[in-house]
Structure 1
Amino acid sequence: MDAILVLCRLLHYASALFLFGIGAFQGWLAPQHLARSLDAALGRAVSVAAVIGLLSAVAWLFLASGEMGDGWSDVWSPATWYAVLTDTEFGHVWQIHLLLGAALVSFLVSGWGRHWRLVTVLGAVYLGSLGFIGHAVMLEGAAGRISRASHVVHLLAGGFWLGALVALTACLGKFGDNDLQSDISHALQRFSGLGHLAVAAVVATGFVNVALVLGHWPNDTSSPYQLLLLWKIGLVAVMVGLAVVNRYVLVPKLRDNDASLQALRLFTVVELALGVCVVALVSLFGNLPPK
């Protein structure tokens, strides 16, 4: 059951992160002509992400019911689902989360999904609500409120970073279109400016989360939680390095250098793949005791 729950968490976190980040890119970063050219592909992407998100949210509820109950028998028990939803802090959050997931699916498959700014707002609430479960709710009082707020900011900043990379990959595939080059350059500049803030927020809130949840730097490699957390920190550091190279080495040479375009595409895909690995690690150590 644990392995299935980890996979479920991975699918759910990834879909919520991508949905919010793609929506933010289309609604706020991409100039109108560029956004229209990406509408079909990215519209399908967020629709698929929303469906995966809703299905994995339901599966997460079922599996959490089994974990809180008596195993597989309670995974399929409506009475246990109801008890989890009404009698636990996770369940109270999950009621809202499921409603948001269903609303996003309905909104996107109905054909209204091209209203990207509304998708972004719904996606932000949907993603941010994940900051009210798991290790974020271990603490009470002022420390608990800070922990929840920090986790929410961490999720939103990470979602903007990773989801926008998906849209950026699609943009770079259209860089050969002379009519779109100027718009793509503007989108890259906007992403660069906000991307600096997103990366800084991910790093800062990551340190806050470690301090609040663990209480010290993760230096005990005999602890599975701390070992996986160190791997996460290392992968994020590599991602930051790639982002710096992309912004300050490759992007300035983009217009006049095909090699820079190819390198930027490759580094963006690698950065995105590392981000998925980070989400996988979070999905894994999210089920482990921090201490």
Structure 2
Amino acid sequence: MSDLLGIALRFALYLDLMLLFGLGLFALYGLKASERVSGVVLNIKGWLAGTAILGVLLSMASLLVMTRAMSGEQAWQALGPHVQMMLWQTELGLTWMLRIGALWVAVLAVMTGAAWPTGSLWLATWAAGVALATLAWAGHGAMSDGALRVWHLMADSAHLLAAGAWFGALAAFGLLLLPGNTQDIAPVRSLARALTGFEVVGAVLVAVLIVTGVVNYLLVVGATLDGITQSTYGILFSLKLALFGVMLAMAALNRFHLSPLLLRAVETGEQAMACRALRRSLSLEFGAVLLILGLVAGLGTLGPMSSD
């Protein structure tokens, strides 16, 4: 039960921190300066503050569950000394405190940034990126030694940030495609422009994901495919690759068919059908992302080629 709880909390943290970072980043490259004011196009302030605060709560719960598992102490009320030791005497604890500090910086930046929406977004997104990158220390990257450890953590962090940017963009497109937003032409024009602007960003993110994914595989498993279908780790990893392929296919459909369809529909004012088609496609891509995050949460608890 504790293992399942730990995996569930890992999944929730991935989901929450990627959404926090990805939405903030999207607002910077996908929206005009006037649209970054919360409520003009998206409720940026509410989403960023909410996910940052939720990230603090999830991190606290994750620390307690992890400390309980590592210490062997079964009584929750007796975890105090173990938590203190975890925080101040382990690298994992130090990165946890860094995450909490970064999340509160994001909250304060968003809540006090009405007079400087773009500046507060930059600060909140930077802090969210730091918080997201700290999750690398709870994965396989932290198990390496020496210079290899540095390279592994850098690759893991880059992979997390690229995944968060992609996930946040999907979430932003989904919010812009809500039925209430697509009845008027102005929000749809903003959506069409953002989709066009995401073409270059999306290509860069895919390249980063592929390169860092290959690097992480080589560092965790090695330059071999032996036994990849005979272990729990290998099977989950293969499923992750298959789902990533589905995401790439849906992204290509959006890029080469549905986005141009929406642009043409905007010119004629008949955007309803194009919005419905794009909404269905993004829903499938979003579902694939959720499944991938669930697999990643489980993979992080397994050793390479583990059968358990």
Contact 2:87 2:96 in 1 (8 A): yes
Match of 1:123 in 2: 128
Alignment partner, residue 273 of structure 2: 259
Contact 2:109 2:121 in 1 (8 A): no
* Deviating more after overlay: 249-258 vs 17-26: 249-258
Give the structure 2 partner of residue 178 of structure 1: 185
Pick aligned residue for 1:84 from 77, 83, 86: 86
What's the % identity of the aligned pairs? 27
Deviation for aligned residue 1:193 = 1.2
Q: CA RMSD in A?
A: 2.2
- Cα deviations across residues 84-122 of structure 1 (Å, max 9, x unaligned)? 112222112112112222333344455659532221111
Q: Name stretches of at least 5 consecutive residues in structure 2 with no aligned partner.
A: 266-270
1:2 is displaced (CA, Å) by 0.8
1:88-107, aligned counterparts within 5 Å? 88-107=90-109
Structure 1 residues 249 and 219: CA distance shift in structure 2, 3 A = farther
Post-superposition offset of 1:47: 2.2
The question of 1:224 aligning with 2:229 is answered no
Q: What's 2:268 paired with? A: none
Q: Residue type of the partner of 2:75?
A: S
- Taking structure 1 as the reference length, what is the TM-score of the superposition? 0.92
Q: Does the 8 A contact of 1:22 with 1:46 survive in 2?
A: yes
Question: After the TM superposition, which residues 64-75 of structure 1 pair with which residues of structure 2 at under 5 Å, given as runs?
Answer: 64-73=66-75
User: Is 1:9–2:10 an aligned residue pair?
Assistant: yes
8 Å contact 1:34–1:180 — kept in the other structure? no
- Aligned partner of 1:159: which letter? G
Q: Which amino acid aligns with 2:149?
A: G
Report the Cα distance in structure 1 between the residues aligned to 2:251 and 2:238, rounded to whole angstroms: 20
Structure 2 counterpart of 1:89, one-letter code: E
Structure 1 unaligned spans of 5+: none
Is residue 175–residue 184 contact of structure 1 (8 Å, CA) maintained in 2?
no
Q: Deviations over 1:157-195 (max 9, x none)?
A: 000000111111122333442234433322111112101
Q: CA deviation at 1:128?
A: 1.6
Q: Does the 8 Å contact 2:53/2:107 carry over to 1?
A: yes
Give, in angstroms, the shift of residue 11 of structure 1. Answer: 1.0
State the match for 2:215 in structure 1.
208
Asked if 1:135 corresponds to 2:149, the answer is no
Equivalent residue number for residue 169 of structure 1: 174
- Residue 229 of structure 2 aligns to which amino acid in structure 1? T
Indicate conservation of the 8 Å contact 2:176/2:188, yes or no: no
Separation in 2, partners of 1:97, 1:42: 21
Deviation track 1:29-70 (CA, whole Å, cap 9, x = no partner) reads: 212344445565333222221122111101111111111101
Distance 1:75 1:285 in 2: 30
Other-structure match for 2:292 = 278
The equivalent position to 1:153 in structure 2, one of 154, 158, 161, is 158
Aligned residues: 291
Instruction: Give the match for residue 256 of structure 2.
Output: 248
Q: Distance in 2 between matches of 1:50 and 1:23?
A: 11
